[in-house]
Amino acid sequence: MEIRVGDNLTFTPPQLSISKSKCPTVRLNLTHLGNLPRNGMGHNWALTLTENAQSVAQAGWQSGLENQYMPLDDERVIATTDIIGGGESVSVAFASSLLDANEDYTFFCSFVGHFSLMKGIFTVNE
């Protein structure tokens, strides 16, 4: 899966979908097409159950940039990347067995203040 971000507050595409039976390992590549540095307009990609997304993002703000604006060792976090700045890329891989087709998932950027606009739907099919 490829997802792009820039010096704005959007993910492209804004929705992602996987089939657990066809994709035992989810691999996601995040590319920042902007010019601003990670401490000015950094972005990451994090996945949680929808019901946990906002509280995880808010907990991450207190963790600081040095911890990728993610709460440390938080079991609600299914997968996450590091914060990247303009011209950088990062990848993450995780087992689709961690996901349930009967649950609702949200991906988001946990950089301070980005959550309200930078989030999307992650759909899981059997």
For the chain, what is the radius of gyration of the CA atoms?
Answer: 13
Mean pLDDT along residues 100-110: 97
Per-residue model confidence as pLDDT tens digits over 40-98: 999 999 999 999 999 999 999 999 999 999 999 999 999 999 999 999 999 999 999 99
Please tell me the predicted confidence (pLDDT) of residue 81: 98
Write out the CATH class of domain 2-125.
mainly beta
**Domain edges within the chain:** 2-125
Query: Could you tell me what percent of the chain has a pLDDT over 70?
Result: 100
pLDDT at position 98: 95
For the stretch 111-124, pLDDT in tens is: 999 999 999 999 99
Tokens of 17: 């979908």
* SS percent in the chain: helix, strand, coil, step 5: 15, 35, 50
What pTM was estimated for this model as a whole?
Answer: 0.96
What span, in angstroms and rounded, lies between the C-alpha atoms of 120 and 1? 14
Q: Give the angle subtended at the CA of 39 by the CAs of 114 and 68, to the nearest 5°.
A: 70
Residue 61's pLDDT is what? 94
